[in-house]
Amino acid sequence: MRRLARRHDTPARVPPRQRAADAAPPEHDSAAPSEHAPPRDSAAPPDDSDTPPGDTAAPPSAAGRSRPTPADWALAALALAACLYPVLPFSIGSGGGGYDAFLDRQGLLVPADLVMGTVLLLLLLEACRRTTGWILPAVCLLFLGYGYYGGLLPQSWPVAHAGLDFSQLVDAFYNSDSGFYGTPLDVAASYIVLFTIYGAVLDHSGAGRFFVELSTAAFRRSRTAAGRTAVASGFLLGTVSGSGAATTVSIGAVTWPILRRAGYPAERAGGMLAAAGVGAILSPPTLGAAAFIIAEYLGVSYLQVLGWATVPTILYYLGILLAVEIDARRSGVRPVAIDAASPWRLLARFGYHFASLVVIVVLLALGMSATRAVVLATALAAVLSFLDRSHRLTPARLVGSLVAGVRGVLAVTAVCAAAGIITATTTKTGLGPQAAALLVDGARMLTSDPAAVLVLTAVLAAVALSLLGLAVPVTASFVIGWVIIGPALLDLGVAAPAAAMFVFYFAVLSEVSPPTALAAVAASAVTGGRLVPTMWQALRYALPAYLIPIAFVITPAGLGLLGIGGVRRVAVAAVVLAVSVTVLAVAAGGWLPGVGPAGVPERVVAALAGVFLLRLEAVPVAVGVGLAVVAVAGVLVRRGSAGRSGGPTGTPELREVAQ
């Protein structure tokens, strides 16, 4: 049995920030307060020695990073030349001549065009390797090979095509609107870079630290304060971060000591932190990069995408909070004393950090473009930083926050450009419709009922997206999923918003899906827990969230979860799915809050109830509610039987649960 930390004696010191910093982007290298230090509020003036979030990030040389080598500068010069070549106003042999002349050569590239396109292709693969690792470049090469050698496949195969020579591929990548300069890179340059800079400025102004302290203060008197603080911190930090792993590290550095004192094993705490951190990619108003691509693909405003994400985000965090409550009671987690100021005093002193977030939503609602809205919000955040002298964005600190924002967008930009290789190859070869047809045909082999075909297609698509997300980052996973799996859902009559959000959610959930689970890797670095058990714990905490997106697509009523279809439809869908998430949390955790442990029969019945409720139609909902009542009755009977037999009915002893 794990030895519990004392409740009021010497509190555990926050673990060294170096471990957290190793897994966090520069903008989140903020110094976390020790758990015994009260959050700053109006009664306690800020300490001038407090280091603003992000200011602790060492320069590259100090952090042990090598400076650019001559080879790096040469590659940078080549990249600049390849990017400027299409718009150069003078001729270079038979090439050059300006942008119009370059477009006129579409499909008939001259040697200079091919050379520059090939150079940019190689440099882009190298940029992806440096920022994301080898897997995404390997996937790009796989698509490149498919485009070049696909003509050698037996023509009876559905995925066979006529074949493309190298010049056709370079033309598709370098001189078309679906290649390098396609929608993903356009979105990255127009929106993502601005929102990333906004998040860095807001974080450097002290907002990230305030959000964590506010969460700590809000739940300081709760029995499950440790777990609730971690979840609430993930939600609040997610409004400015948009990065699952970075948010996991940020909240873990502050809340892990509290979780440890409460008796949480390292693996379980890591799973909780990972699941809470991944919600950052789902939390409005700063969603993950793929959300901006959704807006461009569907031709809607970013505000509409925020509206679609609101109810699912609430349900996601509801599932995690329920898992926290269940774990606390099932495992005998001990309450901890948290020395924190009143949340109202914190809000009165530092609540201005919410102002720029509100401004973004209000300006979008008034019809202003997302780019103007985020620029104005960034300026407001910088001005408001002067209300806290320890986080004032002086010129030097402002430059530091801008640098952190630009660094934070480098990987996303490389991924968005590389996505052009995948989308262009898919478009030129016709792979998208063929893969979609294979997916639907696979479902039809198992059943001929249209409703069942849709459900099976959704399940197969969910599995495919989860596997895809194991190999590539979230943004690339969404782009690939949309061009290959999206058409299958659309062909079956699924509305475009539902199909897009379905693909988006499963792309995001790959960050808590073993065996990669990047958010779990970051959490394990913070807690020091074993990696694989931490991944499985993260999956368990986020388990109900895996079923929510399926409700988007298997019935038209699922559009209510996206805020589409009127108030009544939205309210009914939200309430039914909240019940579904609740019973699924009971099934996953084996405990009914307020009652007691659930046995295997009750957990199976609860799981079935949750699945039926996903259908959001009268008969399945009635069956689901009935099964939920049976599960609750079974738990009550079990508790009564244990009481009569003199068995334990309360909270069992704390157990190490790391499997």
Structure confidence by residue, pLDDT tens digits, 68-125: 899 999 999 999 999 998 888 877 777 777 888 888 888 888 888 899 999 999 999 9
Residue 559: per-residue pLDDT: 92
Distance between CA atoms of residues 248 and 237, nearest Å: 9
Residues 633-658 have a mean pLDDT of 61
- Residue 47 predicted with pLDDT over 60: no
Distance between CA atoms of residues 497 and 563, nearest Å: 11
For 215-229, 410-424, 425-439, 490-504, which range has the lowest pLDDT when averaged over its residues?
215-229
Question: What percent of the chain is predicted at pLDDT more than 90?
Answer: 24
Residues 624-634 have a mean pLDDT of 93
- Residue 61 predicted with pLDDT over 60: no
Q: Are 463 and 406 in contact (CB under 8 A)?
A: no
Residue 37: per-residue pLDDT: 37
Q: Cα dist. 313→4, 126, 249, 276, 320 in Å?
A: 34, 35, 20, 11, 11
- Residue 291 predicted with pLDDT over 50: yes
Helices 395-429 + 431-444 axis angle, to 10: 70
Contacts of residue 641, defined as CB under 8 A and 6 or more positions apart, other chains included, come to none
For 45-49, 148-152, 595-599, which range has the lowest pLDDT when averaged over its residues?
45-49
- Residue 281 predicted with pLDDT over 60: yes
State both tokens at 123.
């440099």
- Residue 50 predicted with pLDDT over 70: no
What pLDDT digit, counting tens, does each position of 304-349 carry?
999 999 999 899 989 988 988 888 877 777 777 666 677 888 888 8
State both tokens at 92.
């270079």
Helix boundaries (H) for 63-110 = 70-84, 99-104
Each as own residue / partner, the long-range contacts of residues 126-135 (CB below 8 Å, 24 or more positions apart, any chain) are 126/75, 127/79, 127/414, 127/417, 127/418, 128/414, 128/415, 128/418, 130/414, 131/410, 131/411, 131/414, 131/415, 132/411, 132/414, 132/415, 132/472, 132/473, 135/471, 135/472
More confident residue, 626 or 225: 626
Q: Tell me what the pLDDT averaged over the chain comes to.
A: 81
Residues 373-380 have a mean pLDDT of 92
Residue 542: per-residue pLDDT: 86
Residues 593-614 have a mean pLDDT of 89
Q: Are 510 and 503 in contact (CB under 8 A)?
A: no
Residue 334: per-residue pLDDT: 74
Alpha carbon of residue 628 to chain centroid = 30
What H or E segment, with its residue span, contains residue 596? strand 596-597
What pLDDT digit, counting tens, does each position of 519-577 carry?
888 888 888 888 888 988 888 888 877 888 999 999 899 999 999 988 999 999 999 99
What pLDDT digit, counting tens, does each position of 168-194 carry?
999 999 988 888 988 888 888 888 888
Region label for 284, one of left (φ > 0), alpha (ψ between -120 and 50) or beta (otherwise): beta
Distance between CA atoms of residues 549 and 97, nearest Å: 49
Residue 32: per-residue pLDDT: 35
More confident residue, 650 or 612: 612
Q: Are 22 and 173 in contact (CB under 8 A)?
A: no
Distance between CA atoms of residues 85 and 79, nearest Å: 10
- Residue 580 predicted with pLDDT over 60: yes
Residue 447: per-residue pLDDT: 85
- In this prediction, residue 513 has a pLDDT band, given cuts at 50, 70 and 90, of confident
- Residue 378 predicted with pLDDT over 80: yes
More confident residue, 34 or 594: 594
- Residue 242 predicted with pLDDT over 70: no
Residue 511: per-residue pLDDT: 82
Residues 630-657 have a mean pLDDT of 65
Tell which residue, 590, 587, 589, 635, has the closest CA to residue 612: 587
Residue 117: per-residue pLDDT: 92
Helix boundaries (H) for 366-430 = 370-384, 395-429
More confident residue, 215 or 62: 215
Q: Are 121 and 422 in contact (CB under 8 A)?
A: no
What pLDDT digit, counting tens, does each position of 243-277 carry?
677 788 878 888 888 888 888 888 888 999 998 88
Helices 531-553 + 266-278 axis angle, to 10: 30
Residues 270-287 have a mean pLDDT of 84
What pLDDT digit, counting tens, does each position of 394-450 carry?
899 999 999 988 888 888 899 889 888 988 998 888 888 888 888 888 888 888 888
